[in-house]
Amino acid sequence: MPRKRKGIPIDGWLAVDKPVGIGSTTVVSILRRLTNAAKIGHGGTLDPLASGILPIALGEATKTVSYVMDGAKTYRVVVAWGEARSTEDREGEVIATSPVRPDRDAISAALPAFTGDILQVPPAFSAIKVAGERAYDLARAGAAVELAPRLVRIDRIALLAMPDADHAEFEVECGKGTYIRSLARDLAVALGTVGHVAALRRTACGPFDESSAISLDKLQELGQGPALRTHLLPIETALDDIPALALTEAEARRLMSGQALPLAGLAGREAPTPPPGTNVRAMQGARLVALARIDGGTLRPVRVILQPSSSGEDDVDYARA
């Protein structure tokens, strides 16, 4: 008999506005104690230096974390010119200086080279593993860390402000795996100087943005109970860009038991069936029952979502796909 998980079954997402000074895992630890949730995780790491949107998954929402981590992100970043730092942000030691300060025209001319699919070398102080060890552990120990360039996608960079000659503020929209510290470093080099991240804020992470966010301080004020749960977002919030497929109650039960459904039997739905290979949200009314994939002539469950049904029944006895 499987061991019963400790904690309260809470399902959904919290869009936490993380403050500067603590890391993502610390936020998860705080919310684990605060909510006593049986399962909890985050949908995208934020360094202690950075503030902003940190999606927190609770319960069955943890099954959709990968969709958030793979999604687009938006940052506001202040780059400080003239100093390169060991960590490529303001917390590191100064390792090089330059008297060059780029003007607005030079910055604007350089930005197109950093949009689209580009190769980027991650920072030495990063969580990437090198021979089984984290790069930041090796860097802190004084070892030379050489990381291979990676292909990342930057959809947009906009110069927002230049408060003084030493700083410039940008908005960056990018894909998974992009390091803003590396972007600041490489942009400075392209402009004939050196630089580092002086301030960083994530304003959107996948479908989560500042409009739905709540500060960590406010969550701690609310404590456990109904007040906190009013800020809980549905599991399917993480799946906004995935097509939905409506099922009857009987079809939902079959899918949740691990059975594939013939698409021919679903042809009577109002919406057209997505093409083969498509991931879909399998919905029974307003309730997400599974993440599924169109496979040939069938609909196959990928991850079953165990939530109470609208009739109040508990689905915990259904098999997981």
Provide the CATH number for the domain around residue 31.
Answer: 3.30.2350.10
Q: Is residue 154 located within the same domain as residue 228?
A: no
Q: Is residue 66 located within the same domain as residue 211?
A: yes
Q: Is residue 119 located within the same domain as residue 179?
A: yes
Domain region containing 112: 73-197
**How far is Cα 213 from Cα 19, in angstroms, rounded to an integer?**
12
User: Which position has the token pair 């609770």?
Assistant: 58
Decide which of 166, 197, 228 is a domain's last residue: 197
What was the pLDDT predicted at 317? Answer: 27
Task: Point out which residues pair with 233 in neighbouring strands.
Answer: 13
Return the number of other C-beta atoms located less than 10 Å from residue 1's C-beta. Answer: 3
What was the pLDDT predicted at 319? Answer: 24
Beta strands 208-209 and 195-205, pairing class? antiparallel
Residues in the chain, pLDDT under 70: 1-5, 125-127, 130-131, 135-139, 141-143, 225, 267-272, 308-321
Please indicate, yes or no, if residue 3 is contained in any of the structural domains.
no
What was the pLDDT predicted at 263? Answer: 85
Q: Per-residue b/e over 89-125, b at no fewer than 16 CB within 10 Å?
A: beebeeeeebeebbeeeebeebbeebeeebebebbbb
What was the pLDDT predicted at 310? Answer: 43
CATH number for position 296: 2.30.130.10
What was the pLDDT predicted at 297? Answer: 85
Residue 221's SS3 state is: helix
**How far is Cα 23 from Cα 41, in angstroms, rounded to an integer?**
13
Please indicate, yes or no, if residue 50 is contained in any of the structural domains.
yes
Q: CB-based burial of residue 137 (10 Å sphere; 0-12 exposed, 13-18 middle, 19+ buried)?
A: middle
Is 47 marked active-site? yes
Q: Is residue 64 located within the same domain as residue 118?
A: no
Which of 11, 47, 89, 186 is flagged as catalytic? 47
Please indicate, yes or no, if residue 99 is contained in any of the structural domains.
yes
What was the pLDDT predicted at 270? Answer: 58
E strand segments, 178-277: 195-205, 208-209, 214-215, 244-246, 261-262
Q: Is residue 177 located within the same domain as residue 88?
A: yes
Q: Is residue 255 located within the same domain as residue 281?
A: yes
Residues sharing a CB contact under 8 Å with residue 39, sequence separation 6 or more, in sequence order:
5, 7, 57, 58, 59, 60, 62
Please indicate, yes or no, if residue 5 is contained in any of the structural domains.
no
Return the number of other C-beta atoms located less than 10 Å from residue 268's C-beta. Answer: 8
Task: Point out which residues pair with 58 in neighbouring strands.
Answer: 12, 40
Please indicate, yes or no, if residue 320 is contained in any of the structural domains.
no
Please indicate, yes or no, if residue 97 is contained in any of the structural domains.
yes
CB 81 within 8 A of CB 106: no
What was the pLDDT predicted at 123? Answer: 82
Q: The pTM is what?
A: 0.86
What six digits make up the tokens of 27? 């936020």
Please indicate, yes or no, if residue 276 is contained in any of the structural domains.
yes
What was the pLDDT predicted at 141? Answer: 64
What was the pLDDT predicted at 315? Answer: 34
What was the pLDDT predicted at 237? Answer: 92
Candidates 261, 39, 70; CA nearest to 284 is 261
What was the pLDDT predicted at 234? Answer: 93
Q: Is residue 45 located within the same domain as residue 99?
A: no
Q: Is residue 55 located within the same domain as residue 81?
A: no
What six digits make up the tokens of 190? 């392209």
Q: Is residue 19 located within the same domain as residue 42?
A: yes
Q: Is residue 19 located within the same domain as residue 114?
A: no
Please indicate, yes or no, if residue 27 is contained in any of the structural domains.
yes
Q: Is residue 187 located within the same domain as residue 99?
A: yes
Q: Is residue 55 located within the same domain as residue 145?
A: no
Q: CB-based burial of residue 211 (10 Å sphere; 0-12 exposed, 13-18 middle, 19+ buried)?
A: exposed
Number of structural domains found in the chain: 3
